[in-house]
Amino acid sequence: MSEIGLADTPVGEGQPAPPAKPARNAVADGPILKTLLSLAWPNLIANSAGTCVVIAETSYIGRLGIEALAAMALVFPLVILTMTMSGGAMGGGVASAIARALGAGETDRASTLASHALLIALSFGATFLVGMLVFGPALLETLGGRGAVLDHAVAYLQIFFGGAMLPWLMNSMAGILRGTGNMKLPSFMILSSAVLQIVLGGTLSLGLGLGMRGVAAGALLAFSVSISVMGWYLFSGRARVKPKLRGLKISRAMFADILKVGAVACFSPLQSVLSIAIFTHMLAGFGTAVLAGYGIGARLEFMMTTVGFSIGMASVPMVGMAIGGGHVARARRIAWTAGLVSFTAMGVLSTIIAIVPQLWVDIFTQDESARSAGRHYLQIAAPMYAFIGLAIAMYFSSQGAAKVIGPVLAQTARLIFIAAGGSYLLSHAATEGQFFMLAAASMVLLGVSTLASVMLTRWGPKPAALELRPAAVAAELSSGPVTRSPRVG
């Protein structure tokens, strides 16, 4: 029968119906740059809301007195550590595992992984709850808390970490949804949570006179609203995965699939906090003005990293689904694209501030000595924020590929570099400008090391352990004709 005859033959008259094309998934096979940006912008809005929370909380905590402000500065690193571990680290591990399962077409496995992710969240949250309530006050005292400052800090800590399972649950649910490629709902809920946190924290702390306890309670209430909405969405079956509860069998393999990324990734924010703490301690010897100037610059870095986080988090489900589907080359292209976009975006924005640092510095202080130190720091270090953007994007892409050890070790290299370089500078009576150069150099080291680790790490399955040797091939050919089975697919 000719091709024309075949075309004219109606379906159902001797011809089987053509197979239905599988539904197209833009996250798995859409244009890389367009898909990446479409997933990144909701994250950017949500992450920017976190910066607004910090500014708003600082504003109304200031009305409680200078002791309350100092107390918040004391407890803030512990709160940030909790949020980054549960969100960017373990949340990234959850998103990676879900995305890889969906990429391989294993929806049932993805649903089981979601259940195990919630169990991990409850376990880690309980660990933070017990650890901070038992050891937190002594830790705050070790960090320098005294008198009324320590009392305010402990009051906040007891309420916030008394509900430590809530941020872990919220960020794990967000990770599950992001793993399916749904960035809009978790981002919208984080944005809503930020607005509620500002309103409730201010009302409870100032309006009802609960002080620092009210600030912490406002955060927990806001988290509870997000958990309720995302939990309803997940368990109602509206998401691509539905966590299993009835008949769930606990599987060590499921825990391992999440923790091999999430648990290792938790060391990255821990080392980042340690790096900042060490550098801050060394700069304290130069006086309040220099320390304040560095703090102003560090705030810009914190704000700029929301760009890198937004792009990086968008790459996790894209890379994960590509790896799960066996498309390693596509996964690599996604990682390079995310790294380039993050590097460029953060580099352009921070370089503009480096050229005219007063645009940023003058917002925070009227003290000329602090302004001078802040301008000096930004002129040296701000352009290097681009390398932090590169490192963040590569870190998240590596989570999607379940190959996160390299980026974590790059963070270790930066920590050692700051500690060793800072000790050398202290022993040689270096100026604050030289310390600022140390900070800038550590950013370059972090970005380049993270990029190198991704380039040198094999993604995808390992090559087959057993290969047919040339001698065996020759023997087979000499024995006679070879019959080959037709290749399927």
DSSP secondary structure of 227-287: HHHHHHHHHTT-SS-----TT----HHHHHHHHHHHHHHTHHHHHHHHHHHHHHHHHGGG-
Helix axes 165-179, 211-235, angle to 10 degrees: 30
Separation of alpha carbons 364 and 292, rounded Å: 10
**Nearest to 87, CA basis, from 16, 158, 190, 7:** 190
Buried b (16+ CB within 10 A) or exposed e, 330-343: bbbbbbbbbbebbb
Rounded to two decimals, the pTM is: 0.80
**Nearest to 263, CA basis, from 358, 456, 166, 127:** 127
**Nearest to 77, CA basis, from 321, 316, 274:** 274
Instruction: Give the number of other Cβ atoms within 10 Å of residue 360's Cβ.
Output: 21
The length of the chain is: 489
Q: Which two tokens stand for residue 134?
A: 């038992």
Q: What is the pLDDT of residue 273?
A: 80
Spell out the residues 6+ positions from residue 204 whose beta carbon is closer than 8 angstroms to its own.
210, 213, 214, 215, 217, 218
Separation of alpha carbons 467 and 480, rounded Å: 21
For residue 440, CA distances in Å to 36, 198, 298, 380 come to: 28, 33, 12, 7
DSSP class of residue 86 equals: I
Q: Phi-psi category of 267—alpha, beta or left, where left has phi over 0 and alpha has psi -120 to 50?
A: alpha
**Nearest to 255, CA basis, from 139, 147, 113:** 113
Separation of alpha carbons 488 and 486, rounded Å: 6
Q: What is the pLDDT of residue 334?
A: 96
Separation of alpha carbons 410 and 156, rounded Å: 34
Kindly report each contact of residues 361-364 with a partner whose C-beta sits within 8 Å and lies 24 or more positions away, as own/partner.
361/293, 361/296, 364/296, 364/299
Buried b (16+ CB within 10 A) or exposed e, 422-439: beebeeeebebeebbbbb
Decide if 215 contacts 193 (C-beta within 8 A): no
Spell out the residues 6+ positions from residue 319 whose beta carbon is closer than 8 angstroms to its own.
96, 99, 331, 334, 335, 397, 399, 400, 401
Q: Where are the alpha helices (DSSP H) in 364-431?
A: 368-381, 385-400, 405-427
Q: Which two tokens stand for residue 330?
A: 């596509």
**Nearest to 250, CA basis, from 129, 125, 118:** 118
CA 290 to centroid of chain Cα atoms? 30
Buried b (16+ CB within 10 A) or exposed e, 156-191: bbbbbbebbbbbbbbbbbbbbbbbbbbbbbbbbbbb
Separation of alpha carbons 374 and 388, rounded Å: 19
Separation of alpha carbons 381 and 283, rounded Å: 15
Spell out the residues 6+ positions from residue 7 whose beta carbon is closer than 8 angstroms to its own.
none
**Nearest to 63, CA basis, from 282, 211, 174:** 211
Decide if 450 contacts 410 (C-beta within 8 A): yes
**Nearest to 391, CA basis, from 343, 351, 438, 352:** 343
Q: What is the pLDDT of residue 458?
A: 92
E strands, 40-140, are: none
Q: Which residues of the chain have pLDDT under 70?
A: 1-26, 58-59, 364-365, 462-489
Tell me which H or E stretch contains 68. Answer: helix 66-84
